[in-house]
Amino acid sequence: MKKRNLNAKKITLNFYKDNLKKAQVNKLYKKLKKNLNALKFEKICLMVSGGPDSLALLFLLKCYSIEKRIELFCFLVDHKIRKESSFEANQVKNFLKKYHIKCKILKSEKMIKSSNLQSNARILRYNLVFEECKKQKIKYVFTGHHHDDLYENFFIRLIRGSGLKGLISFNKIITKIETNNNITIVRPLLNFTKKQLLTIVNETFTKYINDPSNYNQTFLRSKIRNLIEFMKKEGFDSKKFDETLSNLTSSNCTIDFYTDKNLKDNVKYYKNFVLVNNSFFHHPFEVVFRALGNLLISFSKNKNYVRGKKLKDLINWVKLRSNSKKMTLSGCIFEKTSNTLIISREK
């Protein structure tokens, strides 16, 4: 390595070491490490946007990768929704290059549907990142979601009619995604506030990009932010929200316990088929619904969760004892006998 490059690398390392000595930054870095204690990595990637949340996490993860000698990948998705997006993406890439962080810009030729724009953009973003992870053999994808995002996602899902599991499913630092590559999503900032992340960025990189879509009132998320601010003024603060989320999580754990018990007591797995006892369907609907969904994920070749309506139709078909003896769903054939449901894979 040339002497000039060695000097640049040394200056960069000093940047991370010096900033890590700052009291607030160091305190938050230790908090991040505590959140990652149970995980072991060889390669990790971060979905970066150039905003304060992802850049704060990027600084912490860069320090973590240096300390643990882990390979860190950085991906930025250019959706091309706004005319400035490509310029901003390159701006972020060049900015990070100064700090010895390689950032790959991912693009797609697919047009994003204008209806439900943010949701469709998010799906495209994750698909592009997962595809790149598959190429690089990366199993862990980090995102900059923080505690304030828990509020927003809770109310968005509430408005969309999510059940208990959907309302609290975002409240996990680690989420396994059943893709062909078995990606694990890691959200290590869920117990960090937006204010704390701004502190990290202002103390380290000092620059970030503000996405104007965050203030666009045509998007549901922006409207939810206004609703949350109103509710905080009315007394529904962070402490009360955490208490509500904790109570819902506890209830969800109870349902999961009986779901697992139902699977253990009433399902027998064989090489090419599964036998489900009639007693499987004598439990409360939510227990049957979850158990059957989990069963299909473990047995079917299709590793995506079945849509709720289709799963409900299947349960009703079993319980109503219709004249139809067979049904197909999620790559599986369901056949009713007198006291048993036989599930086999479609050829």
| pLDDT value for 39 | 86
The yes-or-no verdict on residue 324 having pLDDT over 90 is: no
pLDDT band at 161, cuts 50/70/90? confident
> Is pLDDT larger for residue 52 or for residue 300?
52
Which whole number is the average pLDDT over 316-341?
A: 82
In angstroms, the CA 152 to CA 343 distance is 39
| pLDDT value for 232 | 83
The per-residue pLDDT for range 6-16, each reduced to its tens digit, is: 566 677 889 99
First to last CA, the chain: 56
The neighbouring-strand residues paired with 76 are 105
Nearest to 205 by CA among 69, 103, 70: 103
| pLDDT value for 137 | 92
> How much of the chain, in percent, has pLDDT values that exceed 90?
47
Which whole number is the average pLDDT over 208-226?
A: 74
The per-residue pLDDT for range 197-211, each reduced to its tens digit, is: 999 999 999 888 876
The yes-or-no verdict on residue 175 having pLDDT over 90 is: no
> Is pLDDT larger for residue 172 or for residue 246?
246
- Chain-centroid distance of CA 339 in Å reads 39
CA dihedral sign, ordered 182, 121, 163, 157: positive
Residue 343 contacts residue 329 (beta carbons within 8 Å): no
Listed in sequence order, the DSSP H helices in the chain are: 3-20, 23-35, 52-68, 85-97, 117-136, 147-159, 164-168, 194-203, 220-233, 238-266, 285-299, 308-320
Lowest model confidence (mean pLDDT) among 32-41, 95-104, 117-126, 293-302 = 117-126
> How much of the chain, in percent, has pLDDT values that exceed 70?
88
The yes-or-no verdict on residue 216 having pLDDT over 90 is: no
Q: What is the mean pLDDT of the chain?
A: 86
Which whole number is the average pLDDT over 54-59?
A: 95
| pLDDT value for 231 | 84
- Contacts within 8 Å (CB) and 24+ apart, 196-199: 196/28, 196/146, 197/52, 197/53, 197/56, 197/57, 197/144, 197/146, 198/52, 198/56, 199/24, 199/25, 199/28
For residue 196 the two structure tokens come to 């704390």
> Is pLDDT larger for residue 228 or for residue 16?
16
Residue 186 contacts residue 143 (beta carbons within 8 Å): yes
Domains annotated on the chain, with CATH:
3-236 (3.40.50.620), 243-345 (1.20.59)
The neighbouring-strand residues paired with 44 are 72
| pLDDT value for 291 | 95
The yes-or-no verdict on residue 68 having pLDDT over 80 is: yes
The per-residue pLDDT for range 82-123, each reduced to its tens digit, is: 778 888 889 999 999 989 899 999 987 776 666 666 677 788
* Full-model pTM: 0.80
| pLDDT value for 200 | 96
In angstroms, the CA 58 to CA 82 distance is 24
Which whole number is the average pLDDT over 305-327?
A: 80
Lowest model confidence (mean pLDDT) among 50-54, 224-228, 342-346 = 224-228
Nearest to 333 by CA among 301, 308, 304: 301
Residue 141 contacts residue 45 (beta carbons within 8 Å): yes
